[in-house]
Amino acid sequence: MTLEAHAPRADDADWGVEDLEIDLLLEGIARRYGSDLRGYARSALKHRLRGALDREGVASVSALQAHVLRDGPAMGRLLAALTTNVHGMFRDPGFYLTLRRRVLPMLRTYPFVRIWLAGCSTGEEVYSTAILLAEEGLSARVRLYATDLSEAVLARAKAGLYAGDQLETWAERYVQSGGRRALTDYLTVEPDGLRLRASLRDNVVFGQHDLATDRSFNEFNVILCRNVMIHYGATLRRRVHELLDESLCRLGILGLGSRETLRGTGFEDRYESLDDEGRIFRRLG
């Protein structure tokens, strides 16, 4: 085994320059395109940027900057690469089980329910939630608002077409989440993958929305923002929690990812936990 084969390129040697280049790139993107990634967690962003350098075939972040500031499609690709998150269907089955058993029964008492999936990425969570609502007989009076900052990513969410290699895992998680049928009832096998049934999208509204820069656009009974704010730095995360709090009705439900907490957000006392894992919260007052 040799470690040397993997050693960084010589031009990476000046480490401080890379940080400066990233600052300039993010500043440039914000001013040119309005997408503000400056508040993102720098460690993960850096990793994704290095991958983008390889894919775009450029040697430095500065070269990438020159490229994307003048080339809209290249910027679209970069934005998708920097922000796409891969969650799969029914990630954390326990979360969906709690939604099914504890949250949806409460929603039954409302004449109309709005759910916001903030940062829906490529849509697996949208379809998982839609399946849950269908099985619990709530589809007709629920509207799901699925938003993401990247148009390219949103297009994939709308298409609902996924590689088939995860089907076994997803089917298993679906059962663990309290699924009443077979996951395959909700999809068709096509030559290029699995396609979720179009009827699952009937009550879904897809829209472009950037949590870092855009304001609240409605009042919701439930907001699921799972594994989105992990990609933000502490300051941006606090600000987005404010935005979500403004967008949530009284006694509204907030769902976070399995390793996310309210610690350090300033909202610890404003919510009560509804599950043992402490990832589903109800807004107080």
Partner 1 sequence: MGTARGLVFPSSTLARTAPRTGEHDIVVVGAPVAATRLASMFLVGLPSAFALPLVLVLGGASGRDRDRLVALQAHCALPVHLVDDKDPILPARIHLAPADYHLLVEEDHFALSTEAPLRGARPSIDVLFESVADAFGARAVCILLGVDEDATGDGRAGAARVRARGGLVIVENPATAAVDAREPTGQEPPAATVLHLSEIAPFVSTLCEWEVT
- 276 is a contact residue toward partner 1 (CB under 8 A): no
What does the H/E/C string look like for the chain? CCCHHHCCCHHHCCHHHHHHHHHHHHHHHHHHHCCCCCCECHHHHHHHHHHHHHHHCCCCHHHHHHHHHHCHHHHHHHHHHHHCCCCCCCCCHHHHHHHHHHHHHHHCCCCCEEEEEECCCCCHHHHHHHHHHHHCCCHHHEEEEEEECCHHHHHHHHHCEECHHHHHHHHHHHHHCCCCCCHHHHEEEECCEEEECHHHHCCEEEEECCCCCCCCCCCEEEEECCCCHHHECHHHHHHHHHHHHHHEEEEEEEECCCCCCCCCCCCHHHEEECCCCCCEEEECC
* 122 versus 139: smaller Cβ distance to partner 1: 122
Stretch that binds partner 1, among 107-115, 154-162, 193-201, 225-233 (CB under 8 A): 225-233
Calculate the alpha carbon distances from 251 to 22, 270, 278 in Å.
41, 10, 16
Nearest-approach distance from CB 11 to partner 1, in angstroms: 12
Q: Nearer Cβ to partner 1, position 123 or 257?
A: 257
Could you say which residues in the range 65-84 bind partner 1, by CB under 8 A? 84
Q: Which is nearer to partner 1, 3 or 198 (CB)?
A: 3
CB of 5 to partner 1, least distance (A): 8
Query: Please, what is the minimum distance in Å from the beta carbon of residue 79 to partner 1?
Result: 14
The reply to whether 55 sits near partner 1 by the rule CB under 8 A is: no
Number of chain residues interacting with partner 1 (CB under 8 A): 38
The nearest distance, CB 20 to partner 1, in angstroms, is 14
178 near partner 1, judged by CB under 8 A: no
Least separation, in Å, of the C-beta of 260 and partner 1?
5
Q: How far is the CB of 18 from partner 1 (least distance, A)?
A: 9
Q: Which stretch binds partner 1 (CB under 8 A): 102-110, 142-150, 204-212, 252-260?
A: 252-260
* Residues making contact with partner 1 (CB under 8 A): 1-8, 12-13, 15-16, 41-44, 46-48, 50, 84-87, 91, 227, 229-231, 234, 237, 257-261, 263-264
